[in-house]
Amino acid sequence: MQQGGDFLLSTVKSCALLGIDGRVVDVEVDISNGIPSFDIVGLGDAAVRESRERVRAAIKNSGFEYPVRRITVNLAPANLRKEGSSYDLAVAIGILYASGQLSGFDADKYMFVGELSLDGEIKPVNGALSMAACAQQNGIENLVLPVQNADEAAVVKGVNILPAGHILEVADHLQELNKITPHKVNSENLFSRFDPDAPDFADVKGQDIAKRALEVAASGGHNVLMVGPAGSGKTMLARRLPGILPSLTFEEAIEVTKIYSIAGLLPPGSSLITKRPFRNPHHTISAVGLTGGGKIPKPGEISLSHYGVLFLDELPEFGCEALEALRQPLEDGSVTVARLNASITYPARFMLLCAANPCKCGNYLSGSRECTCSPQSRSRYLGRLSAPLLDRIDIQIEISPVKYTELGCKKRAESSRAIRKRVEKAREIQLKRYRGTGIYSNSQLKPPMIDEFCVLDGAAAELLGKAFESLGLSARAHDRILKVARTIADLDESETIRTCHVAEAMQYRSLDRKLRDL
């Protein structure tokens, strides 16, 4: 704080969000003589401008004196657009500091975030985890934030998380009258928590082939399309896919939590998302809703399913534009949203799981109900899906409504936990194989790498050649079969791909086949 003559100046730190990363914002407050006014400059949106009224009322109602002078607040860097109400607390502290009502603390060691209510209470903000990470990266020791955000932010090590419920608590802490104890969570405990409510494959009776296909998909990170009549259990199977994916690592969990924190979707009272996300957007969703963006940028569904599963039920009903927007993120694992003066990149490394009815009425092949679609409308229905999108889907499963009683055996279905063990093993093999190549799973293999890593033994190569002649498989199926066969071999812990692996992989390409009765 500089105080000389008639002007008073202070700088405190706050945080802006860019994509999922935080960026330090200096909140500069100048109080000088002149006609009483209060201005905030530095490209703030409406919420930032309205912050004036909240700050004024909060200062007054907390028993401080609101300086009746000319107040100018600058949010630096001034060319960065700033949104939301999280600067309220920093502005208020800055004013109190500049006017000499607070003193005796090192403003460089503090970052303040929080929205103020008119009586001085501090309300939660979005993106606290990213802000904590930002504070830690910039060597800021203390982060003062709303109590409700303390759990998520405390996951970041190396920063004192100081939760405050009221501006008076902050003032007391800074004046060393009544210290706030830094909030701590044990992030190890978060991971070990067992979730009994998670859907389990043990609850699905029958559907063995579909479960196996999903196991293969989970093992290699392959995208999946399930085709089956209404009521055949597609959604039930889909909900269980995240449960067999390997557990999130700590780094992955932080990244996922950041996204949810920014989107404001973090469940209250949780500090870290430790389960793989499962997102199930309705088919009326727009392209922006899927990829993210908008006037106030928000992560879309693909980012919310980062490291998890994006489930698109009724795939052909989705808008063409929305589906095509998926193509680039599926390749890159991230999505870049261009905005007026910044482009924001959100991570989006997800497994795409789609479900579709075989025809418009949804009854084709259902066994019990009759399909009323004409052959033309039937072939048109799935034909609507674009080839470039289908090219990114390695596994196609047909789901038939098979009654459990028809199976005639009372075998207990396998639990998700048992399946996950195999999946994790296969993933480990892949991580080891692809170390240093920039990819981590079989689904990411590109043509030159396919030749290098998908080595077929003689009989398997012969089988593949024969299959293309006699089964009417399309050429684009070739690489996909190889990738899936690679994963099946990994599940089998076999370094070379053998005949049985290729033969099984072919069963997961049934839509490429021109089957007689279709």
Tell me: does residue 486 bind other proteins (CB under 8 A). no
10 Å CB burial of residue 295 (0-12, 13-18, 19+) is: exposed
10 Å CB burial of residue 136 (0-12, 13-18, 19+) is: middle
Residue from the set 13, 123, 234, 501 that interacts with other proteins by CB under 8 A = 501
| Parallel, antiparallel or unpaired: strands 292-293 and 298-299 | antiparallel
Q: Which is nearer to other proteins, 88 or 215 (CB)?
A: 215
The interface with other proteins within residues 319-348 (CB under 8 A) comprises none
Q: Which is nearer to other proteins, 170 or 464 (CB)?
A: 464
Residue from the set 295, 417, 421, 466 that interacts with other proteins by CB under 8 A = 466
**Cα separation, 85 vs 123, whole angstroms:** 9
Residue from the set 409, 412, 432, 447 that interacts with other proteins by CB under 8 A = 409
Q: Residue 437 CB: number of other CB atoms within 10 A?
A: 12
| Share of the chain residues as helix, strand and coil, in percent rounded to the nearest 5 | 40, 20, 40
Residue from the set 336, 400, 474, 494 that interacts with other proteins by CB under 8 A = 400
Tell me: does residue 458 bind other proteins (CB under 8 A). no
Q: Which is nearer to other proteins, 259 or 502 (CB)?
A: 502
* Interacting span for other proteins (CB under 8 A) from 23-31, 57-65, 346-354, 502-510: 502-510
**Cα separation, 513 vs 208, whole angstroms:** 21
Q: Which is nearer to other proteins, 206 or 277 (CB)?
A: 206
Are 80 and 15 contacting, i.e. CB atoms less than 8 angstroms apart?
A: no
Q: Which is nearer to other proteins, 185 or 461 (CB)?
A: 461
* Interacting span for other proteins (CB under 8 A) from 180-188, 336-344, 429-437, 504-512: 504-512
Q: Which is nearer to other proteins, 193 or 410 (CB)?
A: 410
Binding-residue total with other proteins (CB under 8 A): 43
**Cα separation, 135 vs 150, whole angstroms:** 14
Gyration radius of the chain over CA positions = 28
Tell me: does residue 463 bind other proteins (CB under 8 A). yes
Are 359 and 378 contacting, i.e. CB atoms less than 8 angstroms apart?
A: yes
10 Å CB burial of residue 229 (0-12, 13-18, 19+) is: buried
**Cα separation, 518 vs 506, whole angstroms:** 18
Tell me: does residue 517 bind other proteins (CB under 8 A). yes
Residue from the set 230, 285, 413, 471 that interacts with other proteins by CB under 8 A = 471
10 Å CB burial of residue 509 (0-12, 13-18, 19+) is: buried
Q: Which is nearer to other proteins, 40 or 481 (CB)?
A: 481
* Helices within 223-280 (DSSP H only): 234-239, 250-263
Q: What is the DSSP letter of 518?
A: -
Shortest CB 452 distance to other proteins, Å = 24
Element (H, E) at 427: helix 416-433
Tell me: does residue 405 bind other proteins (CB under 8 A). no
What binding mask, one character per residue, do residues 222-251 give for other proteins by CB under 8 A, x or -? Answer: ------x-----------------------
What binding mask, one character per residue, do residues 182-221 give for other proteins by CB under 8 A, x or -? Answer: ------------------------xxxx-xx---------
Residue 503 neighbours by CB under 8 Å, 6+ apart: 463
Q: 344 — phi, psi (to 5°)?
A: -110, 135
Q: Which is nearer to other proteins, 123 or 480 (CB)?
A: 480
Sign for the pseudo-dihedral over CA of 29, 34, 37, 42: negative
* Interacting span for other proteins (CB under 8 A) from 11-19, 168-176, 298-306, 395-403: 395-403
* Interacting span for other proteins (CB under 8 A) from 54-62, 249-257, 316-324, 507-515: 507-515
Total length of the chain: 518
According to DSSP, the residues that pair with 160 across neighbouring strands are 142
What binding mask, one character per residue, do residues 354-383 give for other proteins by CB under 8 A, x or -? Answer: ----x------x----xxxxxxx-------
Interacting residues with other proteins (CB under 8 A): 206-209, 211-212, 228, 358, 365, 370-376, 398, 400, 402, 406-409, 411, 463, 466-467, 470-471, 488, 499-501, 503-504, 506-507, 510, 513, 515-518
